[in-house]
Structure 1
Amino acid sequence: MAIAAEIGMGAILAAADELGEMIRRSEECRAYWRAREKMEHNAAAQRLFDELKKKTNGLWTLRDRLGASHDKYLRMKQEVDALWERLYEIPVALQYKAAQDELNALVQEVIEVVLAQLGDTLPVERGPRTCGSGGCSGGCGGSCHASAGA
């Protein structure tokens, strides 16, 4: 593949800025912010979400300290799963989760397209799949929780 003209870093960064702005103006982004605003105005959902964040952080600590097969970790994981179930009983929480997943999918697809374009000409390493990249093992308690079957 021959490159017709050399493009400087400034032009590439300007194109990245434009791409970022396109994502910010996308329907997926607008839907995310609408859903987030509804979520923020639902006191019950916010309480559950705050509790879920605290429990999830504790879950990570237990997993790192004791391992994923320890009884304390497994009990706390059940508590976290129960909180997710309660949160998903609230319609605005489901809408928020769906909007968050859609926006994340858009960003991940853009990243995959860029990586695919570079893969033929550069030794691009995709790196580890982490929470938020579609490769979550379910341990984050975040947006990839439901898709991981945890």
Structure 2
Amino acid sequence: MSSSPILDERVLQKAKLIADMIASSEEVARFKQAEEKMKRHPDAQALLFNVKALRNRYSQTSLRLGDDHPEAIKAKEAFEAVVDQLEQIPVVEQFQAAQMELNDLLQGITKIVALTMEGFHVEWGKSDEVTASCGSGGCGGGCSAKGCAV
């Protein structure tokens, strides 16, 4: 089954438009700003390097010896201690918050696309929540339409 090159081009153009809109969103701006702060914070960078090394050590040790082995437990504790130190740095907290906001935006977009493809009527509410209905009118999420209990 081949698709129309014209239709594909229209879809790709719309995808590019959406990508441009996402790139110019406040969420992306906050994320990039927080990311730059993280890159310029020497303590955060050093701890991130240690977190990666300790995560690998813990992962390898637990795979090789099992999660309950004293060496694996020791590696996990060392990893968690450095993560705790890292999370005490304000720029790390800001970065994590910005990352979550951007992730929420992207998940919301994905949800809208998926629900629309399934034939749901999708609306963006005042509380920044995506709501969907089957479009049959008045089912309140209780109808038997395929996947309607959204």
Q: TM-score range, shorter-chain basis?
A: 0.5 to 0.7
Counterpart of 1:35, as a letter, is A
The structure in which a higher percent of residues are strand is 2
User: Cα offset for 1:52?
Assistant: 0.8
Higher mean C-alpha deviation, range 66-75 or range 37-46: 66-75
Over 3 Å counting, the alpha-carbon distance change for 1:46 and 1:114 in structure 2 is: same
Q: Residue 71 and residue 12 in structure 1: after superposition, are their counterparts in 2 closer, same or farther (change >3 A)?
A: farther
Q: How many residues align?
A: 115
Per the alignment, do residues 65 and 92 of structure 1 end up closer, same or farther by CA in structure 2, a change over 3 Å counting? same
- Indicate the residue corresponding to 1:109 in structure 2: 108
1:69 to partner: Cα distance: 4.0
Q: CA RMSD in A?
A: 2.1
Q: Distance in 2 between matches of 1:23 and 1:43?
A: 30
**Structure-2 residue corresponding to 1:129:** none
Structure 2 unaligned residues grouped into runs of 5+: 1-5, 121-150
Percent identical across equivalent pairs? 32
C-alpha separation between the residues in 1 aligned to 2:70 and 2:115? 43
Alignment map for 1:2-41 (pairs within 5 Å): 8-41=7-40
C-alpha separation in 2, matches of 1:72 and 1:102: 37
Select the structure of larger CA radius of gyration: 2
User: Post-superposition shift, 1:8?
Assistant: 0.9
TM-score by length of 2: 0.67
Taking structure 1 as reference, are residues 17 and 43 closer, same or farther at Cα in structure 2, changes over 3 Å only?
A: same
2 CA distance for matches of 1:78 and 1:108? 32
Cα shift readout 1:79-114 (whole Å, capped 9, x = no counterpart): 221111101111111111111111111112211221
In structure 1, stretches of 5+ residues that fail to align are: 1-6, 122-150
Q: Name 1:54's counterpart in structure 2.
A: 53
Residue 118 of structure 1 pairs with residue 121 of structure 2: no
2:84 is matched with 85
Match for 2:46: what amino acid?
A: R
Instruction: Compute the TM-score of the two structures, normalised by the length of structure 1.
Output: 0.67
Single out whichever of 73-82 and 28-37 deviates more from structure 2.
Answer: 73-82
Distance 1:74 1:115, change over 3 A: farther
